[in-house]
Amino acid sequence: MPRPWARWLPRGTWATDAGIALLVQAAVTMPFVVPRPAGLPAATWAAYGLTTLTVLPLVARRRAPVTVLLAVLAAGALYRFAVDGPGQPLPYTGLVAFCTVAELSSPGRRLSVGLLVLAVVFPSVALNTGEARELLFSLFVFAAAYAFGRSLHTRKAYVRAMEERAVQREVTHRNEAERAAARERARIAREMHDVLSHAVSLMIVQAEAGPVAVRTAPECAEAAFDAISETGRDAMVQLRRMLGVLRDGGREDGVSPRSPQPGLTGLPVLLERVRSGGLQVQFASAGEPGSVPDDTGATVHRIVQEALTNVVKHARATAVTVRLHCAADEVTVTVTDDGRGPGTTTGLGLIGIRERAAAHGGRVRAGAGPDGRGYQVHVVLPLTVSAQGVGS
């Protein structure tokens, strides 16, 4: 939370540069306020004003670092030769300007400015004490300023790279979340289509047969209406299950209640419900259904459900055969009817079947049945892919 006084502080690089210039001004002012030895001339306002003149260019150091350094060096030379003012323990303004050049300038300019600084340091030391100790110290402090400037450049480049990487990660995360949401919407749409399409199709067939049964076989009419009621109740149970998962909150612990998906053990109930609508359904199973993983079993159940729904809605068939073969490495399911044969192969039902099979690395073949009669859906699901964790 920002402090109340923070809003009164200036912001931006201008404020930063002005603050650094004030700090340097405070440093160069110290020799003027400290009493001087008796043998030295007193500090004058003219000397102090010229000292301030060497500091002012630092306010624009980021905009034109090389120009600011040249101005600082020129003002320093003017101070040395024009007035007899107090000396400075360190060339503060020159160090700050040289550090800025090292941070912001190109390699060619840094080399040129470095050679210029060397050309200035040697005569300055010669005109002052001429001692090797002063020369080494001057070279050291300017080298340190250069190194500090380069470290600032590296740090800022690193921060920019981290910020860009964070932005890229956020964009990637958002895209992944959107793709996951799209996949989840497609999955929910597929589940609701399977449940509603199957249930409504059976209910329509049974409702249409009801009046006929009332007139011709009253004893069968009650069974037809019972089948309608049972189909509707089963559809409502499955819809409530899906809506319960979607509903926010779920239980108090935030975990939505879950029920097992229908699997291979639910196929007899599914087939009996279709038989109750008047369609002759034969079922043949081979192999060991118990060895099939639950996710694959749920996919097989939904594929058979959608295939039978298509038969009821579109095939005008009188009989359908469902064959299930569970091998060690794959499950094969075939749904064949004796209806009017191939129609469209791009309906939502077939798209859902292909999507479910593709999620397991399986393959689908849909088209005319044996000898060109009726329609057949043939699906092969490998168990090895499912065992590796690919869900439907």
pLDDT in tens, 51-85: 888 888 888 888 889 998 888 888 888 877 777 77
User: What region, left, alpha or beta, does residue 51 occupy, with left being phi > 0 and alpha being psi -120 to 50 degrees?
Assistant: alpha
Dihedral angle over CA of 22, 26, 32, 36, nearest 10: -160
Average pLDDT over every residue of 273-278: 79
Does residue 175 form part of some domain? no
Report residue 307 CA to chain centroid gap. 37
Among candidate residues 130, 165, 193, the one where a domain is terminated: 130
Which stretch, 122-136, 152-166, 199-213, has highest mean pLDDT? 152-166
pLDDT at residue number 349: 74
Q: Which two tokens stand for residue 267?
A: 């196929």
Residues 346-367 have pLDDT tens digits of 566 788 888 888 888 899 999 8
Residues 225-253 have pLDDT tens digits of 666 777 777 777 767 766 665 665 445 45
Compute the distance between CA of residue 294 and CA of residue 248 in angstroms, rounded to an integer: 26
Per-chain mean pLDDT for the chain: 80
Helix residue spans in the chain (DSSP H)? 13-33, 45-55, 65-82, 92-104, 107-128, 132-216, 218-246, 267-275, 294-310, 348-359, 383-387
Compute the distance between CA of residue 381 and CA of residue 304 in angstroms, rounded to an integer: 13
DSSP state of 89: S
pLDDT band at 31 (very low <50, low <70, confident <90, very high): confident
- Pairing assessment for the beta strands 330-337 and 363-368 based on DSSP bridges: unpaired
Range with the poorest average pLDDT among 282-286, 336-340, 351-355: 351-355
Q: How many other C-beta atoms are found inside a 10 Å radius of the C-beta of residue 19?
A: 13
Compute the distance between CA of residue 338 and CA of residue 369 in angstroms, rounded to an integer: 8
Average pLDDT over every residue of 7-21: 68
255 pLDDT more than 70: no
Indicate the residue type of 283.
Answer: F
pLDDT at residue number 9: 41
Report residue 59 CA to chain centroid gap. 42
Q: How many domains does the chain have?
A: 2
Indicate the residue type of 182.
Answer: A
Compute the distance between CA of residue 390 and CA of residue 259 in angstroms, rounded to an integer: 20
For tokens 């160069």, name the residue.
28
pLDDT at residue number 249: 46
Does residue 220 form part of some domain? no
* CB 100, CB 94: distance < 8 Å: no
Among candidate residues 130, 158, 193, the one where a domain is terminated: 130
Q: How far is CA 217 from CA 211, 230, 319, in A?
A: 10, 21, 21
Does residue 240 form part of some domain? no
Does residue 3 form part of some domain? no
pLDDT band at 212 (very low <50, low <70, confident <90, very high): low
Does residue 389 form part of some domain? yes
324 pLDDT more than 90: yes
Find all residues with CB under 8 Å of 348, minimum gap 6, and list them: 193, 197
pLDDT band at 10 (very low <50, low <70, confident <90, very high): very low
Does residue 48 form part of some domain? yes
Among candidate residues 96, 130, 164, the one where a domain is terminated: 130
Report the interhelical angle of 65-82 vs 45-55 (nearest 10°). 160
- Report the CATH number that the domain containing residue 352 is assigned in CATH: 3.30.565.10
DSSP state of 260: P
Indicate the residue type of 199.
Answer: A
Does residue 185 form part of some domain? no
Q: Which domain holds residue 105?
A: 10-130
Does residue 303 form part of some domain? yes
